Structure 1
Amino acid sequence: MRDPLEDPRWRARLAENRAGARAPSTPVLLYHAAFDELIPYTTGRKLRDRYCGLGATVQWKTIPLAEHIVGVAVGGPIAMEWLGARFAGKPAGNSC
Protein backbone atom coordinates (compact mmCIF):
# COMPACT_ATOMS: atom_id res chain seq x y z
CA MET A 1 0.00 0.00 0.00
CA ARG A 2 1.37 3.42 -0.97
CA ASP A 3 1.84 6.16 1.56
CA PRO A 4 -0.58 8.97 0.53
CA LEU A 5 1.78 11.56 1.99
CA GLU A 6 4.30 10.64 -0.70
CA ASP A 7 1.85 11.45 -3.51
CA PRO A 8 3.01 14.70 -5.20
CA ARG A 9 -0.58 15.93 -5.53
CA TRP A 10 -1.19 15.50 -1.80
CA ARG A 11 2.13 17.15 -0.94
CA ALA A 12 1.18 20.12 -3.15
CA ARG A 13 -2.13 20.54 -1.26
CA LEU A 14 -0.32 20.38 2.08
CA ALA A 15 2.16 23.03 0.92
CA GLU A 16 -0.69 25.32 -0.21
CA ASN A 17 -2.26 25.11 3.24
CA ARG A 18 0.86 25.55 5.35
CA ALA A 19 0.22 28.07 8.13
CA GLY A 20 2.21 31.23 7.50
CA ALA A 21 2.64 30.67 3.76
CA ARG A 22 0.32 33.58 2.95
CA ALA A 23 -1.58 36.25 4.80
CA PRO A 24 -5.08 35.27 5.95
CA SER A 25 -7.77 37.38 4.29
CA THR A 26 -9.61 37.82 7.59
CA PRO A 27 -8.43 38.88 11.07
CA VAL A 28 -6.78 36.15 13.12
CA LEU A 29 -6.59 35.47 16.83
CA LEU A 30 -3.53 33.52 17.91
CA TYR A 31 -3.02 32.49 21.51
CA HIS A 32 -0.31 30.36 23.01
CA ALA A 33 0.55 29.01 26.43
CA ALA A 34 3.89 30.34 27.62
CA PHE A 35 5.05 26.91 28.81
CA ASP A 36 3.44 24.73 26.14
CA GLU A 37 5.25 21.40 26.21
CA LEU A 38 3.79 20.15 22.90
CA ILE A 39 4.09 23.16 20.60
CA PRO A 40 6.93 25.47 21.64
CA TYR A 41 5.95 29.05 22.45
CA THR A 42 8.52 30.28 19.94
CA THR A 43 6.65 28.40 17.19
CA GLY A 44 3.51 30.43 17.92
CA ARG A 45 5.47 33.68 18.02
CA LYS A 46 7.12 32.88 14.69
CA LEU A 47 3.72 32.29 13.09
CA ARG A 48 2.47 35.60 14.51
CA ASP A 49 5.54 37.40 13.20
CA ARG A 50 5.18 35.76 9.79
CA TYR A 51 1.52 36.78 9.49
CA CYS A 52 2.35 40.30 10.65
CA GLY A 53 5.13 40.50 8.07
CA LEU A 54 2.63 39.52 5.39
CA GLY A 55 0.30 42.35 6.42
CA ALA A 56 -2.34 40.32 8.24
CA THR A 57 -4.43 41.61 11.13
CA VAL A 58 -3.36 39.46 14.07
CA GLN A 59 -4.44 39.69 17.67
CA TRP A 60 -1.95 37.83 19.88
CA LYS A 61 -2.56 36.55 23.40
CA THR A 62 -0.03 34.87 25.65
CA ILE A 63 -1.49 32.56 28.27
CA PRO A 64 1.04 33.10 31.11
CA LEU A 65 2.14 30.37 33.51
CA ALA A 66 0.32 27.70 31.47
CA GLU A 67 1.18 24.57 29.54
CA HIS A 68 -0.70 23.06 26.60
CA ILE A 69 -3.89 21.79 28.26
CA VAL A 70 -4.32 24.81 30.53
CA GLY A 71 -3.68 27.00 27.48
CA VAL A 72 -6.54 25.29 25.66
CA ALA A 73 -8.86 25.65 28.65
CA VAL A 74 -8.05 29.34 29.13
CA GLY A 75 -7.78 30.19 25.43
CA GLY A 76 -11.09 28.62 24.39
CA PRO A 77 -13.28 31.23 26.11
CA ILE A 78 -10.99 34.00 24.83
CA ALA A 79 -11.45 32.68 21.29
CA MET A 80 -15.24 32.45 21.66
CA GLU A 81 -15.42 36.04 22.91
CA TRP A 82 -13.18 37.16 20.05
CA LEU A 83 -15.36 35.38 17.48
CA GLY A 84 -18.51 36.83 19.01
CA ALA A 85 -17.10 40.33 18.65
CA ARG A 86 -16.28 39.67 14.97
CA PHE A 87 -19.82 38.43 14.27
CA ALA A 88 -21.16 41.51 16.08
CA GLY A 89 -19.28 43.66 13.60
CA LYS A 90 -16.68 44.97 16.05
CA PRO A 91 -13.22 45.55 14.56
CA ALA A 92 -10.45 43.17 15.48
CA GLY A 93 -7.46 44.41 17.44
CA ASN A 94 -4.05 44.17 15.89
CA SER A 95 -0.90 43.17 17.78
CA CYS A 96 1.38 43.64 14.77
Structure 2
Amino acid sequence: MVDVMDDPEGFGGVVARTARLLDELGADAPPIGLADLVRKVGIPKTTVWRLLNTLCASGFVERFGSGYVVGSRLMRVAPPRRMWWC
Protein backbone atom coordinates (compact mmCIF):
# COMPACT_ATOMS: atom_id res chain seq x y z
CA MET A 1 0.00 0.00 0.00
CA VAL A 2 1.28 3.51 -0.88
CA ASP A 3 1.52 6.06 1.93
CA VAL A 4 -0.04 9.15 0.34
CA MET A 5 1.90 11.42 2.70
CA ASP A 6 5.16 10.06 1.21
CA ASP A 7 3.91 10.33 -2.38
CA PRO A 8 2.08 13.67 -2.70
CA GLU A 9 2.34 13.66 -6.49
CA GLY A 10 0.78 10.23 -6.84
CA PHE A 11 -2.35 8.74 -5.34
CA GLY A 12 -4.32 11.34 -3.38
CA GLY A 13 -1.99 14.20 -4.39
CA VAL A 14 -4.17 17.21 -3.56
CA VAL A 15 -5.50 15.63 -0.38
CA ALA A 16 -1.99 14.64 0.71
CA ARG A 17 -0.64 18.14 0.09
CA THR A 18 -3.56 19.71 1.93
CA ALA A 19 -3.01 17.33 4.86
CA ARG A 20 0.67 18.31 4.98
CA LEU A 21 -0.29 21.99 5.17
CA LEU A 22 -2.85 21.38 7.91
CA ASP A 23 -0.38 19.23 9.85
CA GLU A 24 2.18 22.02 9.72
CA LEU A 25 -0.33 24.71 10.67
CA GLY A 26 -1.50 22.57 13.57
CA ALA A 27 2.08 22.05 14.76
CA ASP A 28 2.86 25.77 15.08
CA ALA A 29 0.93 27.80 17.63
CA PRO A 30 1.87 31.22 16.19
CA PRO A 31 0.85 32.22 12.66
CA ILE A 32 3.19 30.87 10.01
CA GLY A 33 4.00 32.73 6.81
CA LEU A 34 3.85 31.47 3.25
CA ALA A 35 7.63 31.21 2.79
CA ASP A 36 8.02 29.21 6.02
CA LEU A 37 5.20 26.86 5.05
CA VAL A 38 6.75 26.28 1.62
CA ARG A 39 10.11 25.48 3.21
CA LYS A 40 8.62 23.14 5.83
CA VAL A 41 6.27 21.13 3.60
CA GLY A 42 8.40 21.00 0.45
CA ILE A 43 5.54 21.87 -1.89
CA PRO A 44 5.89 24.50 -4.65
CA LYS A 45 4.99 28.04 -3.55
CA THR A 46 2.22 28.47 -6.14
CA THR A 47 0.58 25.23 -5.00
CA VAL A 48 0.79 26.19 -1.32
CA TRP A 49 -0.65 29.63 -2.11
CA ARG A 50 -3.53 28.11 -4.12
CA LEU A 51 -4.34 25.55 -1.43
CA LEU A 52 -4.20 28.18 1.32
CA ASN A 53 -6.59 30.43 -0.61
CA THR A 54 -9.05 27.56 -0.99
CA LEU A 55 -8.71 26.60 2.69
CA CYS A 56 -9.17 30.24 3.74
CA ALA A 57 -12.26 30.64 1.56
CA SER A 58 -13.81 27.61 3.23
CA GLY A 59 -12.81 28.64 6.78
CA PHE A 60 -10.42 25.75 7.45
CA VAL A 61 -7.47 28.17 7.56
CA GLU A 62 -7.46 31.87 8.49
CA ARG A 63 -5.09 34.74 7.74
CA PHE A 64 -3.63 36.29 10.86
CA GLY A 65 -1.40 39.28 10.12
CA SER A 66 1.13 38.10 7.57
CA GLY A 67 0.68 34.41 8.45
CA TYR A 68 -1.83 31.61 8.55
CA VAL A 69 -3.45 29.66 11.39
CA VAL A 70 -5.90 26.77 11.70
CA GLY A 71 -9.37 28.17 11.07
CA SER A 72 -12.44 28.12 13.25
CA ARG A 73 -14.32 25.83 10.86
CA LEU A 74 -11.66 23.14 11.22
CA MET A 75 -11.89 23.48 14.99
CA ARG A 76 -15.68 22.94 14.77
CA VAL A 77 -15.30 19.92 12.48
CA ALA A 78 -12.59 18.28 14.58
CA PRO A 79 -12.81 19.61 18.14
CA PRO A 80 -10.39 18.21 20.71
CA ARG A 81 -12.19 15.43 22.52
CA ARG A 82 -11.70 12.11 24.11
CA MET A 83 -11.56 9.25 21.62
CA TRP A 84 -14.16 6.51 21.78
CA TRP A 85 -11.55 3.88 22.61
CA CYS A 86 -10.13 5.76 25.61
The answer, yes or no, to whether TM exceeds 0.5 is no
Larger RCO (CA under 8 A, 6+ residues apart): 1
**Could you state the TM-score of these two structures normalised by the residue count of structure 2?**
0.30
Determine which structure has more spread, i.e. the larger CA radius of gyration. 1
